[in-house]
Structure 1
Amino acid sequence: MRFTLDWKYQGIHSWYFVAQDKGYFRDEGLDVTIDQGEGSAATITRIMSGAYDAGFGDINAVIQQAAQKPADAPVMVYQLYNRPPFSVLTKADSGIATIKDLAGKKVGGPAGSAATRLLPALLDRNGVPAASVEVLNMQPNLQEQMLIRGEVAASLVFNVTSYVNLIQQGQDPDKGFRWIDYADNGLDLYSNGVMVSQKLAREKPDAVKGLVRAINRAVKDVMADPATGVKAVTAVEPLIDGKSEQRRILFAMDRLIVSPETRAIGLGDVDDARLARSIDVMAQAYELSSKPVPGKVFDRSFLPPLDDRRVPAATN
């Protein structure tokens, strides 16, 4: 099985390598090759092309493809990020504390990123006229730098990425900056998880169940001991900084993965009504010609039993 990540090797990919190192894939009769990614959109296209069987990417991109190419779109089988990583990042002393404070300000974001594309919907839900906010198109690798230099008042970021970028630039992301999450301000979307091709789901359902079981075991291992995840991912990519990646793992656990909903329905699952609302948001934001039903986007039939997916008690 060929599995593609959403980006370069990071701590938030550690569970896949833990599953490999501990033999969890092998226990399921799977031989999994894990490759770096080039963005969540690329995860979708790689699977749709047949080059990959499965991958880690954004359910919102699945929604778009399910609306446009329902016969070819991948299906999500294990929802890992219960909250989206989209945030408005601003300096702690900027005077921006709410979405309403963006009125009259200049914000920066990559033109094609989900955080930028969803800004009009975010502003609308908070009663802010879109015309009152100036959006500066910028390269992803310049987002934190331009904010630090004061060239923009705020930046539209993927928080799990920007958090470590700030650390690597000598900043304190906890004390020096304010994170205003889209999820807390009207866009309570899901985000990244494990998806597979329709062909794999149809022809080899037991393999998909095994893949999900193995990953779920590894996620729980990393939750219980993040250092296990750091060790696994730095063995694959020795050039990354283990301390920074451990902070990224902890940030992701706290801000993206563990939530009251996760504790109620378990790792990997979704609430169908909430997913339906997410589909409505995406249909409006991306002007989709149709709206797929939740069952065409997410298939829970491959999930292990709830008792196997409960959040470990040690996780804060």
Structure 2
Amino acid sequence: MKHSLFGAALTLMVGAVPALADMTDIRFTLGWKTQGSDAPFLLALNKGYFEDEGLNVTIDQGEGSAATVTRIMGGAYDAGFGDINAIIQNAAARPGEAPVMVYQLWNRPPFAIVTPKTAGIETPADFEGKTLGGAQGTPTTRLFPVFAELNGIDLELVSQESMAPNLQEPMMIRGDIDGAFVFTSTSWFNLIANRQDPANDYNWFNFEDYGMDLYSNGMMVSRKLMAENPEAVAGLVRAVNKATMEVAANQDSSVEAIMAFDNLINPELELARLEFALTNLMNAPEVTEIGMGDLVDERLTRSIEIVAKGYDLDRLPEASEIFDRSFLPPVDARAFEVTLN
């Protein structure tokens, strides 16, 4: 009897080996340190949705949304969460090497200029004669000349100071600068951490409201993975899409998944950040028609032109070089409706 049980157990173990061997390893990088907006990936990991697709996904923290692109291009990662505008920049210079976005999550950009109401800046024209600060190289800073041109601002009348990202809000609060080039999803919570009221005491000039119709973060994959294992890419997209639908319906369980990945986060803060992303970055009107994960090609083409102008790119990549929707599940499986808990 014991022999029979042992034999049966051994048979099961041996039978499991091919299944384990068939798992595809995916190295995935987040856009930054663990945040609430990472919930779709961390929930998929926590609930085994990647494993269900035959994927062994390893997730690491990131170094910035643009760095996701260079990390993938360098071969250290197969996929990640990052900025589509960084793909555009790299695709212009190195066509055929830049990763491709396969699931667009932030269909509204986080790029904005924030100013204290005490600075008296109510319209773009009021930036003239003021001092704005920001980190060099960020999309908000680099694209400000395009913002200025579109909104009739004389750049020679605007003073700009370069500074580390963590100094922007403190310097603005002290009155050293009149406004800052920021990512809304970061700066909003930096202000709260500095005992400020971002909703009532600050004006937010969101780029999308001033002619800068841009996309932002989503899930991208390497061209190598797309070419060699398209089934893995499709599975990755299905798993993240399934998790994204759950995140929209239940943020509490999403934060539990984030905590399981990184127990050093502040759950209340990251819940608030997740809700911010759901209601401010993932809710473009087009989503009701095309579903989460997709985008509008004509809008992407316009955004490519904006990025090319802001970064002085030598070549305009085609929209098809930047985004590939062929891995998306049917649109009814991507119907996105947010219910805040």
Deviation at 1:239, TM superposition (A): 2.1
Aligned residue identity for 1:163: W
Write out aligned runs for 1:147-162 (5 A): 147-162=172-187
8 Å CA contact retained: 1:4, 1:43: yes
Q: How does 1:143-292 map to 2 (within 5 A)?
A: 143-292=168-317
Give the counterpart letter for 1:9 in structure 2.
T
Q: Which amino acid aligns with 1:37?
A: G
Q: Could you tell me whether the CA contact under 8 Å between 1:167 and 1:244 is conserved in 2?
A: no
Determine if contact 1:55/1:194 at 8 Å carries over to the other structure. yes
Mapping of 1:1-316 within 5 angstroms?
1-312=26-337, 314=339
Aligned residue type for 2:158: V
Does the 8 Å CA contact 1:97/1:180 hold for their aligned counterparts? no
Q: What amino acid sits opposite 2:318 in the alignment?
A: V
Any gaps of 5 or more consecutive residues in structure 1?
Answer: none
The answer to whether the 8 A contact 2:278-2:338 is kept is no
TM-score by length of 2: 0.90
Q: Is contact 2:68–2:80 with CA below 8 Å preserved after alignment?
A: yes
- In the alignment, the residues of structure 2 paired with residue 172 and residue 240 of structure 1 have an alpha-carbon distance, to the nearest angstrom, of 22
Larger Rg: 2
Select between 166-175 and 30-39 the one with higher mean Cα deviation: 166-175
- 2:114 partner SS: strand
CA contact (8 A) 1:82 1:258 kept: yes
The CA distance in 1 between the partners of 2:28 and 2:269, in whole Å, is 25
Partner amino acid for 1:205?
A: P
Which amino acid in the other structure matches residue 80 of structure 1?
Answer: L
Cα displacement (A) at 1:93: 3.2
Confirm or deny: 8 A CA contact 1:7 1:37 kept in the other structure.
Answer: yes
* Count of paired positions: 316
Contact 1:44 1:62 in 2 (8 A): yes
- Contact 2:50 2:236 survives alignment (8 Å): yes
Deviation at 1:276, TM superposition (A): 0.4
Tell me the CA shift for residue 313 of structure 1: 5.9
